[in-house]
Amino acid sequence: MPYPPSFPPRQSPRTPQSPEYQLAGAQPCRRSGGLPTPKIPPQAASPTCTSPNLKETPRITPDSMPSTMPEIFMRSPWVIQEAWIGGVSTRRVDDLVQAMGLTGISKSTVSKLCKDIDERVNAFLDRPLAGDWPYLWLDATYLKQREGGRIVSVAAIIAVAVNTDGRREIVGLHIGPSEAETFWSTFLKSMLRRGLRGVKLVISDAHEGLKTAIRRVMGASWQRCRVHWMRNALSYVPKAQQSMVAAALRQAFIQPDRSNASQTLRHVADQLRGKWPKLGAFIDDSEIDVLAHMDFPAQHRTKIHSTNPLERLNKEVKRRSDVVGIFPNEGSIIRLIGAVLLEANDEWQTQNRYMQIEAMAELAPLLIDIKPAEITTVAA
């Protein structure tokens, strides 16, 4: 019976007479000595291919390469600048160059290359500020500097502000030998001349000179950093009782408004006053300062009650300054710290808004009837 057209006929099994067995020279169920090597006939014509003209291709010779590593950096100074900003010290740059088998690069050459950063840093720190900035954070980092043949400690003040669009920016850097009122007033006035306006709340630690400068220059409310306030409060309590006292104080900060928070804080102070009178007096003197953020929108309170938004920035500044150790002068501090701040500020601009813009719209009518809180002058 013939197969249908769609089904080909079944192939017959292999037999010793099959072409495969004849080609291999093997018998059924036995191994053969191997397949014969086929003979490949020669090609009719040899293949041809084209190759590039090497005489026209420019070659890299030792004469065309820079002879020393400093010359390479001179041709591309941004390489050493970015490495220096990223945390590579001038000494480590020289060690790295020598490890590569080159002649090395002196520390003075690295310093000269890094001076080109001054123009970018000064343009960033002196840029004009436009619009309103309701919130301003201030914090100090202490660095070591050579002055008159001795090593002194100087304060690097970093200012961060949030505008009405909910975006934060680094708005200032100031270096000074102390935290006196004149130092803070000079810094705040310099930012006002650049266009800083509309400040409603200043968040910082309890510095006497700063508190007086805020009252005289800014005319804004002052929020004492709640994290530092809690540490100062617990210093009046034995270590074994600090967890209990901290839990009681936190009850005031979870209240929905300032009146309830103030009432709760006073109640806690009255309960603890009998056992720790100094703690009770400390709470009475600092109540207004630590609860100033309760007058502002609830969506913002988690970010304006302390200087925590600057903690990560300060850690990066300290990491870079520890590489240097001791700065030779104030200009070197501004160059390095300013470059770190410039890089951080550029990164912030690519992120989402730091604060909700809807709450910013509620901030303007809310602050019309709010008077700046009286800043106490009791030492921390």
Mean pLDDT of 2-7: 53
Average pLDDT, the chain: 78
pLDDT tops 80 at residue 294: yes
The reply to whether CATH 3.30.420.10 applies to domain 129-223+307-380 is: yes
CA angle 150, 152, 156 (to 5 degrees): 145
Contact 225, 203 (CB under 8 A): yes
d(CA 157, CA 314): 10
**What percent of the chain shows pLDDT beyond 70?**
64
Q: Bridge-partner residues for 123, per DSSP?
A: none
Nearest Cα neighbor of 85 from 116, 124, 125 is: 116
- Among all chains, which residue has been given the structure tokens 């291999």? 24
What does pTM read for this prediction? 0.70
pLDDT in tens, 124-155: 999 999 989 999 999 888 899 888 888 998 88
Question: Per-residue DSSP letters for 282-332?
Answer: HHHHHHHHHTGGGGS-GGGHHHHSSSGGGHHHHHHHHHHHHHH-EESSHHH
Instruction: Check residue 127 and give its pLDDT.
Output: 93
Interstrand relation of 150-162 and 135-147 (parallel, antiparallel or unpaired):
antiparallel
Q: Residue 310 has what pLDDT?
A: 87
**Residue 371 in this model has a pLDDT that exceeds 50:** no
pLDDT band at 373; cut points 50, 70, 90: very low
Query: pLDDT (tens digit, 9 = 90+) per residue, 26-64?
Result: 566 666 555 555 555 555 555 566 665 655 555 544 455
pLDDT tier at 375 (50, 70, 90 boundaries)? very low
Q: What is the pLDDT of residue 117?
A: 76
Cα(156)–Cα(135) distance, integer angstroms: 20
CA distance 285 to 1: 112
User: Strand 221-224 to strand 201-204: parallel, antiparallel, or no bridges (unpaired)?
Assistant: parallel
Location of structure tokens 């306030």: 229
Inter-residue contact 113 to 179 (CB < 8 Å):
no
Mean pLDDT of 242-259: 93
